[in-house]
Amino acid sequence: MKLLGLLNKIMPDSRLKASAKAWLMNNVLYRLTGAAQEYKLKDGITIRMKPLLLVTHSVGNFHLEGYELHYPIKSGDVVVDGGGFQGVFTLYAAAKVGPTGRVIVFEPDERLYRLLEQNVKVNQFTNVTLVKKGLWSSETTLRFDSRGNTSRLELDGDQDHLITTVPVTSLDSEVKRLGIDRVDFIKMNIEGAEIEAVQGCRDVMSQMSPSFAIASDHIRDGEPTARRVQEGLEAGGYRAFSDYPQHLTVYGFKPTPTEAA
């Protein structure tokens, strides 16, 4: 995001600078998209996406391989995507689950939500449900730091960026609202909010027993979130462990009767 970097260099911190950043994000960086392009992903899946013209990004298999390291998505699965961003995982999962499956994606950033919505339409997927909320432990509104590919709930008092407010919800509340009676796999990459999001899906864990892959390299209180995420899953009766050091991820599975014994 070279334009924002340049703005940081030439302008001192002020309300004017924050307003200029917000204007760039709303009217330039996350609005200028090119024609949809094809991207080849793992497992022979091809998606089409509208690239952002002024924002550096990549579309590849690096994160997909990590998310599916211990649970390959299957046809007919119901998948939750916490942190949709521009839609790579959402589109990949939608293709894998097929017309008998479903993907529910959460993205609280207004700009990224619009882009995600466009990319779902470009691919003509009818098995994707978009939710313009963040995942959390309860239903409320929270401060949000909108930085594009590192947008996150504002949890540490940092006020040097683009602060707004967004609605957040627990997964337990949202599956009830949507009438979902089965979840097979939950992927999260939500920039530090995964600790609370795990707390907000205890009913889903106990009643539906989904598998988890949660990006947990985000720093909270001076350490990666992995330990606390793992503890949260274990408190819900799960076997949990960290893996994929290239993009530290916590995986969780309900133990089989043999393992539980």
Compute the distance between CA of residue 45 and CA of residue 156 in angstroms, rounded to an integer: 39
- Pair of tokens at residue 178: 């949507």
The amino acid at 129: T
Query: Which one has a higher pLDDT value, 158 or 193?
Result: 193
Query: Which one has a higher pLDDT value, 129 or 8?
Result: 129
pLDDT at residue 62, rounded to an integer: 87
Percent residues over pLDDT 90 in the chain: 65
pTM metric for this prediction: 0.86
pLDDT at residue 259, rounded to an integer: 63
- Pair of tokens at residue 38: 């094809």
Tell me: pLDDT of 194 over 60: yes
pLDDT at residue 161, rounded to an integer: 53
Compute the distance between CA of residue 98 and CA of residue 95 in angstroms, rounded to an integer: 5
Query: What residues does each domain of the chain span?
Result: 57-260
Compute the distance between CA of residue 28 and CA of residue 97 in angstroms, rounded to an integer: 34
162 CB contacts (<8 Å, ≥6 apart)? Answer: 18, 21, 22, 25, 145, 146, 147
Question: Of 2.60.40.4070, 3.40.50.9100, 3.40.50.150, 3.40.50.10860, which CATH number belongs to 57-260?
Answer: 3.40.50.150
Mean pLDDT throughout 204-221? 96
Mean pLDDT throughout 24-47? 81
